[in-house]
Structure 1
Amino acid sequence: MEIMAKILSIFLAFLTLADYSEGLSRRKIYTLYSAKKTWNEAKAICESKQSQLLKIKSAKHYEEISYLDRMEWGNRVMNEFASSSGMWSPLHKPFWNTTWTYQDCEPYSLTVPGTSVKKCSTYQPNSIISSAPCDEEHIFICERFEGDCWFQPFYEMTTKWFEAATSVPINDPNIKAEDCALECRNLYDINTGTECWGFTFYPAVPLCTLHVNNTPTASSDYLYPENRDYGELKSTFYVRRCFEGVIDTNMYDSFYDKNAEPDTSCTETPYVFNNTVYDVCYCPVQEQPPIPEPATSEEKAKQFIKKLTIGTSSTSAAERKLTSAEDNRPSVIGMGYVGILVLTAVFGSLVLLDLNVIFARIKDFCSSSTSVQTIG
């Protein structure tokens, strides 16, 4: 079992390395930690949760965080910015030079403003990066990948919302909403970065229309369908949800590293997300699916082993001991009839040979019963 667990762990690690890219969107979990920590503490807490410090590399990432902060986090991030504070960035200087790298050791080619003695950095409004002493305390966000995107339904929607986007109709008389979800999940242009961010399904036709867009902020822009027009056709619009937000208010007092230098050397294998990708999640309900707790590769391997383990009483060999295999060949059926005739003849002849004895016993029994009644 231990060998199998190690093999599965290696396989899961391979999936993690193979599936991660900056292209096709996957379900990302952002966790906001409201307790202020030093850079080393924040980095250690993220890694303990199978994640890493938030990496903002595009307008898409910034818009997702802005949406969560505005809609779910009560503007905690913007309030920190307003108080002239910042939020920890994964960029730091792991060596005694001017090279800046992310927490996962990816190099950073741009200039980080600030003095050369500051080895860590913070995010400021509009995702501007500024250098900061590592022993300062700031809030921080950890991010990790967990599974695939899901589709949130909004009813009675029209495609008017997507006039500026490209619509791709799928004419299939047997198509279902879950089929549309798979088509949307697989529609991605690696050259242009164009993705499908939703689809409209007309069950009465049936008709599926995919809505694609290469706008960097499409993932967060498409989360406001309630402000759009309703249509005449009975339809449902499914928007693709590829990021979720969580708030962690724990203090994590066990993490205590006030070192002014970043606790990292960037000489080991880059840290990667726990981003094993599963089948597309098609949810025909409005509620958001639960956000899973982060799991290590070893824990996922144990879960796979548990699912693959079959009880001894459920095996086919055990079941065959209690049942007879059916054989409908004519020759076998004929042999069965012959066997029945032979057994009938054998037992029938035995009965015939003892027939006179049986009749005599019955006659004696009847005579004795008559005599008893006469006496009475």
Structure 2
Amino acid sequence: MQFKEIIGHHDIKEHLLQTVKDNRVSHAQLFLGPEGSGSLALAVAYAQYINCENKQLNDSCGTCSSCRKYQKLIHPDLHFSYPFFANGEKDVATSYLEEWRKAFLENPYMGLDHWRHQLDAGNKQANINIAEAHDIIKKLSLKAFEAEYKVLIMWLPEYLNTQGNALLKLIEEPPAKTLFLLVAENQDKILNTIISRTQLVKIFKLPHHDVAQYLIQEKSIPTERANEIAFIADGNIQTALNLIAEESNEYFNLLISWLRFIVTDSGLNFIRVCEEDFPKLGRENQKNFLFYAVNMLRQIVLMQQGLQNLVLLQGQELDFVKKFSEIFQLEQLEVAIELLEKTHYKVERNANPKILFLDLSLQLVLLFKYQTFPQGAQYI
């Protein structure tokens, strides 16, 4: 993986390159960025540049022996750790190394759900177990085979739990020329004892135009459709890739009819939508719909605040945003966004969609129709 293959993040790339040029490579770094932002790809490209035998000004050469092995993820001094769905207590990450290589090379922006599908793991819980922690210690105690640096890239250290304590001494005082690159999405779920031993590299979500350009140039998606997908994906390349296969954006029509039933308090109609339409979408499309709804409400907020130049919509969607922005208060929209985000969180955890969306609908009826703001409400 070379930096030039990764979408956007020009400032981050420049920072990483400069640490190598200035010989200021921290032995433990935390790449923190949202799903689909490219943080994992950046970590791999950084490791490849560090061990490149013929470094260029702005990237690894891509042709030396080290780079060729890195491109296939087969370099003997490059190690990976990641959540998996263990079939036994002795399972470690290398048990799934071939699947990991295939998944990353096909999609370096992958999220945990995509990885789960590669392993046909169903609803099994992901984790990084104590056997994996011990295996990491064993691997990194060995001398480097051929590279200057041994590198361990750990994807989603949030799944370490207390097993991470076994790695603290190694992270704080690693063998010479050993590099830890932790790639995380949620800092709050990482052990504080690990965070305190790493240098933070903050990675932000990709802007709309970078995602759209990627879809147009790399996936040959028509401009209008690319902009539509980029809007829904909200900086998440994994979500954008999930949406590519869809023939058209049906979320808008579903959102319009659902909200119409809500603001008119048409109970039988929104119950029907919750019992029939939402369950048909399936879990991934339910999550995408909620992303879309959240983004639409955020566009309405921008319109209300006089920031029309930041509204990324056109056609029917733009007309909807203009009309909606004249009807509801900012406080209502902020609460609605929070409710949608809570629902998205529960969908990720396999909550019953009929109950979940009916509860959401009832909350929105109170909010939009009767202007009742929930105080400390308990959400499903």
Higher RCO (C-alpha 8 Å, min separation 6): 1
TM-score, normalising length: structure 2: 0.22
Bigger helix fraction: 2
**Bigger CA radius of gyration:** 1
Bigger strand fraction: 1
